[in-house]
Amino acid sequence: MEKINNTIFYTLEKSIKTYRQFAQKEISAKGIDITIDQWLVLKTIQEDSSISQQQLAVKVFKDFASITRMIELLVKKGYLIRNFHKEDRRRFELILSAEGVTIIKLLQPIIQNNREVALKNISKSDIQKLDSILSNIISNINNTAK
């Protein structure tokens, strides 16, 4: 039987965790009070302002309770405005505040630098191949789960 740290999934998980720890450290070192997950929520809302909380949870790989807590915290920090949806009072409309837009702009060069550091010495073709392989793994799992 193979050892756990000899599997591709162990290495994949370790690379993700290592990157997230590095990226969070870089953000915190700049004195910015936001987590990677909070940034991901803001960035996702920026890209799709009509997204529902349920869709947001799926898109950022979080459960609904976690998204609700994150949104509450982002509202308290002043990065997000939450209003009742105009057509469905059971839903909320999520809007980036001016501070939210500013924090995304402030973080962009940090995020870009983090990615460059992580992908140093990795060719574009290797990145494309890795993306293709990971997409195949996702497809394999999704097709099996049906």
pLDDT at 1 (0 to 100): 79
User: Which amino acid, one-letter code, is at 11?
Assistant: T
pLDDT at 13 (0 to 100): 96
Task: Write the DSSP string, 18-85.
Answer: HHHHHHHHHHHHTT----HHHHHHHHHHHH-TT--HHHHHHHTT--HHHHHHHHHHHHHHTSEEEEE-
Cα four-point dihedral sign 119, 122, 124, 125: negative
- For residue 39, which of 90, 97, 107 has the smallest C-alpha distance? 107
**pLDDT tens track of the chain, all 146 residues?**
788 888 999 999 999 999 999 999 999 999 999 999 999 999 999 999 889 889 999 999 999 999 999 999 999 999 999 887 677 666 678 999 999 999 999 999 999 999 999 999 999 999 999 999 999 999 999 999 66
Cα four-point dihedral sign 48, 53, 57, 60: positive
Measured distance CA(14)–CA(18) in Å, rounded: 6
First to last CA, the chain: 29
- For residue 67, which of 81, 77, 53 has the smallest C-alpha distance? 53
